[in-house]
Structure 1
Amino acid sequence: MNEVFAIEGLVALLLRFALIAVALFAFVTSLTYPAEAYNAAGKWTKQGWTIVLGLAVLFAFVPLLPFFISLAFVIASLVFLADVRPALSGLRRR
């Protein structure tokens, strides 16, 4: 029975590291684009995304938060990576 709990703990730890990596990548990526690019792409402001993604990184390190709060910030990070980042990278000068 202890082996099951050990595997469950390992999976939870790996999942937490993956969530931290996604949130950190989204946060750093949000900092690399200028504020004008967010406006030109018709997306939320740079300050707004930076605050939300910064909180996602901060809360990813807090293991005692309720699951739905962590899930909300992970979803925000994934929305940034799936929707905002491609729109911003399409505006880059070539």
Structure 2
Amino acid sequence: MPVLMTIALLVVGVTGVCVAALLAGIHKRQNRFNQTQLDAVGRETAEKAAHYATHVERLEHRVRILEGIAADRGIAVSDEIETVSKALLN
């Protein structure tokens, strides 16, 4: 095998290794970026879930209070609801 051909093969091999290393680095950075995005979305989702859970707890507490009022006052609540509904419609 002539020396020139050996040098050409060596250059091609080294270039191939360099390109592979470059592509591996790009892939690694892309994976790191994707992971950062996923972490941010996960934190945002957790914050929203906590907010919704707090809101649901407040609503459940209000419903329990209203149920207690309705149970204590009986039919008078029904009459009051009708009065308010009619007032809102007019």
Looking at CA atoms only, which structure, 1 or 2, has the larger radius of gyration?
Answer: 2
Q: Going by fraction, where is helix more abundant, 1 or 2? A: 2
Band the TM-score falls in, shorter-chain normalisation: 0.3 to 0.5
Structure of greater relative contact order (alpha carbons < 8 Å, 6+ residues apart) = 1
Q: Give the TM-score normalised by the residue count of structure 2.
A: 0.39
Q: Give the TM-score normalised by the residue count of structure 1.
A: 0.37
